[in-house]
Structure 1
Amino acid sequence: MYNKKSTFTTLKSYRPFHSMYDPCRPIGTKYYSTPPQLYMGFQPPNMQQFPPKEALKKGTLWPAFWDYYENPYKVKKRDEE
Structure 2
Amino acid sequence: MTRAKTFTLIKSYKPFHSKFDPCPPIGRKYFSTPPQLYINFQPPNLEQFTPEEALKYGTLWKFFYDFYDNPYRERET
Residue aligning to 1:39: 38
Count residues with an aligned counterpart.
Answer: 71
CA distance, structure 1, for counterparts of residue 12 and residue 75 of structure 2: 17
Q: Would you identify which runs of 4 or more consecutive aligned residues in structure 1 move more than 4 Å? A: 70-77
**What secondary structure, in the 3-state scheme, does the structure 2 residue paired with 1:13 have?**
strand
Q: Tell me the TM-score normalised to structure 2 length.
A: 0.75
The structural deviation recorded for 1:47 is: 2.0
Q: Tell me the TM-score normalised to structure 1 length.
A: 0.72
Residue aligning to 1:64: 63
> How much identity, in percent, do the aligned residues show?
66
CA distance, structure 2, for counterparts of residue 45 and residue 21 of structure 1: 55
CA distance, structure 2, for counterparts of residue 76 and residue 16 of structure 1: 29
Gaps of at least 5 residues in structure 2 are 1-5
Asked whether the 8 Å contact 1:13–1:31 carries over to 2, the reply is yes
Q: 1:51-73 deviations in whole A, cap 9, x for unaligned?
A: 11101111111001112334679
Gaps of at least 5 residues in structure 1 are 1-6
CA distance, structure 1, for counterparts of residue 47 and residue 23 of structure 2: 50
Give the letter aligned to residue 40 of structure 1: I
